[in-house]
Amino acid sequence: MPTPTRAALVDHLVRTRIAGHVATPRENNLDHYRKLANGDRHYWLGLELDDRWSDEQDVLAVMAERCGVIDDPLHRQGQDTIDPELTVDALERMAGRLRKAASAKERVLFATGHPGGLLDVHRATAAALRAAGCEIVVIPDGLTADEGFLFQFADVAVLERGATLWHTHSPEPMNAVLDGLLRAERPLPDLVVADHGWAGRAGQRGIDAVGYADCNDPALFIGEAEGTLQVTVPLDDHVTSPRFYDPMTAYLLDAAGLPQA
């Protein structure tokens, strides 16, 4: 995959609706912002927000600043947006953290709660870091969470139920992995690259964490605003083809100075 220029990547993100006018409707975004503000922990994605974000207008303000949703509180239905420039800005911040990991030969754990969209993004990043000398953390055998099993496919930890990779927002799979590593007296990761509750809980437990989040998942953006997560990249996390993410991944790895495997 040739590496796009920044301008070409912005155009690609808009054309494929990874950013720009995304498929997630405004009504869904506002509903999730309200539920987070009302204390529904499902929408906290593994973070401990207490009562710091009990006003949904404060949540909207963070999402407008960090994700690029429409900042007008009177816009209640219809189209919503992700700013592609903010997506690329965040990719460049993530690249800086990956460059640090490669330089220090860190232990890195990859995980996804959105395997239908982001599994290959994580796989390619893991392969590039391994080629640079990093240790890609292998999770212990026999771990379970949320009535499913935890496995790794192409170096990426996932939740599996009934021979199906599961879409999950839950932080419990990350708890199970980190607790399993501690029981086995193995070192915890230096860095977690993930999404959903996998990323939020890693950051909450004090591990450097970077991740991806959609415009209806405000918690990880709040986590970055508070410093619990180091980077949150705004994007639609399940577009019509996972191949649409390939130019984005190529840009990320090139910005980090990592080879494409």
Give the DSSP letter string of 138-196. PPPTT-EETTEEEEEETTEEEEEETTEEPP---SHHHHHHHHHHHHTT-PPPSEEEEEH
pLDDT the model gives residue 158: 98
Q: How far is CA 193 from the centre of its chain?
A: 7
Tell me the whole-structure pTM to 2 decimals.
0.97
Parallel, antiparallel or unpaired: strands 148-153 and 191-195:
unpaired
| Phi, psi (deg, nearest 5) at residue 17 | 65, 25
Segment holding 198, helix H or strand E? helix 196-204
pLDDT the model gives residue 259: 87
212 and 232 in contact (C-beta within 8 Å)? yes
pLDDT the model gives residue 48: 98
Stretches where the chain sits below pLDDT 50 are none
Upper half-sphere CA count for residue 187 (Cβ side, 13 Å): 9
